[in-house]
Structure 1
Amino acid sequence: MTSIKRTTLFQALRRMYTDSTVLAITLAGTALFALTLITLRGQLEQHLQLVARTIAYSAEAAVLFEDRRTASEILLQIAEREQLREASVSTLNGRMLASYRYPGNGMLGHFDEAVGRLLFPEPIAAEIRSGSKHIGNVVVHGNGARFIIYTLQAVGIGLGSIALFFYAASRLAGRMSQRISAQLEALASATHGARLQQDFSRRVPPLDIVEFDQLGKDFNALFAELHARNVELIARQSSLEVANQTLSQLALRDGLTGLANRRGFTERLEKALGDVRGSGGKVGVLYLDNDRFKQVNDQYGHAVGDALLVDVADRIRNCIRDTDLVARLGGDEFTVLLDSVRDVDDAVLVADKILAAMAPPLQIGEVRIAPAVSIGIALFPEHAETAEQLLVAADQAMYTAKQNGRGHYRIFDPAPRPCLNHGETSE
């Protein structure tokens, strides 16, 4: 699989600005250099014409009197000063009075001469006049030395200017790149925070680049909408959790008394048995049934019967520890889970407290009722090994108590003989 070479936006922008700047400077520099060469050649050609006229003016008397020596001196002085390649002074009839040739030798001399021939292939001529009379001619050939010097100076100045311009352009490009990158970084930071941290409260600050500022406003509007929806979802989730907790509690609670129901009691009992199983601990269960509850319902109505059940539930709850549990299994039946008891005597003590708590009568309006319960007691592991067996054992003991006079407790006895009433012995 072909790997993709990745780069940062700042690097891409810097490279784009650098490449475009170099290209623009190169094109501009090339055009300027070509224009400079053309202009320089034109100026040198005009200068050669001026030099030719100067020689013609200076040599006028020498030509008029055909003074070779003076003509040679004048030509040599001007030709050396102006760095001419060739020059000559002649009379009108073609007689040569003076001539000059650039004495340069070596590679540099040949190079200057070659440049001169390239730039000025044709000689520059000027007439020598005495008054209005044409008396002679001056012919000059330009050398390349002066052109090379001027060109090198122009190149130096041009390169310096280009370097300065490139430096300034690079600084401006860098600042622009940093400016753009900083604003894109602000946009990216906000989007990354929203995506990775689910933080929709972040906002993009105002940006001075119009397109980025508009994009930031769009992001802020989107974040605001997502934040509102996120808050709504969190609220809904919290509401669902509360509803689920409420439903769970309702599923394990009795609607009338607020006690645990059969399901809640069974789950708690199984957990208690699991905690003490193998450690030698004991768990007690009391099974309670209201005596003559059906008569109360039939005589006074269900409202009074419900009030009686609520009152009995409160009395039982006040007789146990915080670690124990009271439950209403249904109808007028209650159970008590005694967690971590030492022996059956602890369960008997709780049963006695509950029986004593039932002694005060209950006044409901004009109705006066004497609550009474029958209690069956069973212990783990003496009487049963499972939660279901323990409930059955306590239930059997409760029915035995009812059959033997009500209003007292019985301890489960697995033997076929009757269980013992409170205060009786097995003998």
Structure 2
Amino acid sequence: MNPIYLDHAATTPVHPEVLEAMLPFYTAFFGNPSSTHSFGRATRTALNRFRDAMAKSLGCLPAELIYTSGGTESNNMAIFGIMNANKDGKKHIITTEIEHHAVLHPCERLESLGYEVTYLPVGPTGLIQIEDVEAAIRPDTALISMMYVNNEVGTIQPIEQVGHLARSRQIPFHVDAVQALGKLPLNVSELPVDLMSFSAHKIYGPKGAGALFVSKNTRLTPHVFGGAQERKRRAGTENVAAIAGFAKALEVTLPMMDSMQSKVAEFRRLMISILEQQLGFDSFTINGHKEQCIPHILNISFPGIQTETLLMNLDLEEVAAASGSACTSGSLEVSHVLQAMKLPENVTASAVRFSFGMGNSKEQIETAAQKIATIVKRLRTI
């Protein structure tokens, strides 16, 4: 049997066209883009071409795009860069309880240094309330940081509303768009955002490549020193091969975004339908917002069965799924996202995330759903 990969929210396989675009920068075009000789100039020209193309796709100026090693670094750069650049003595940050740890841990670090952080609560669907954001704003609020799409339950946050509120109060607004890129239309010149984080390996690009949009009107201090790369905002020789892959991944995925979302929405409906037929409507719970969500993420709880037990049995059947964020799914801790949603313990302790992608087929989803149902029946009998 061929393994079935249903963990695309953790990472996606590299698209063949992406790999093909990367290979020349390991062989023919290996020069350091900071070198002034012909080898370096050729690589620099390519790097500028990639930046121009990506900026056009994202709706920003090329100078507003900083290359990073991924979403985690982009988030760290945004948070520490804004807070360190603040000259007004403001030491308050607003974020949410359900952020990725790449945002929560930097905020916790800043708290240990004397900053104050307000963690906004969410409802049982994982959605924040704009009233809570407004109530949390203080005279010393220096940054609002929030994810666009939750990586565990797929809930889409009201980014435009929050952004307009932040603009009205002249507060920089950072958005973690790692799970939104390639799934939602993103034009940073039209969205009321000041900073936005991206990652290549969520859209069939390579791991180790990311980007941070920083509006030309936003002050940001560098967090890595030692060179003048990226307009002195992020030192270190650029990973040109990975950036080439990132640019190609955007080129490949953006034109098919609508059709791909329709495809994974059908996968979602199909899996739910088969589970309802095999297990009964009341035998499982779908976590997250029913309408305001991204279709490629499906988080389901099977009360009475421990998450790790179900994942182990799925793995034995060669079905790959996850308990939540790939950065924490190796631990036995219950998801902080589901806990923040204040779901019952039997729901939080039995949740599994299935996430669909380009390589999946209807037949795979049918097979996986049947296997899930069989495993759940067997475990509940035991």
TM-score after normalising by structure 2: 0.18
Higher helix residue share: 1
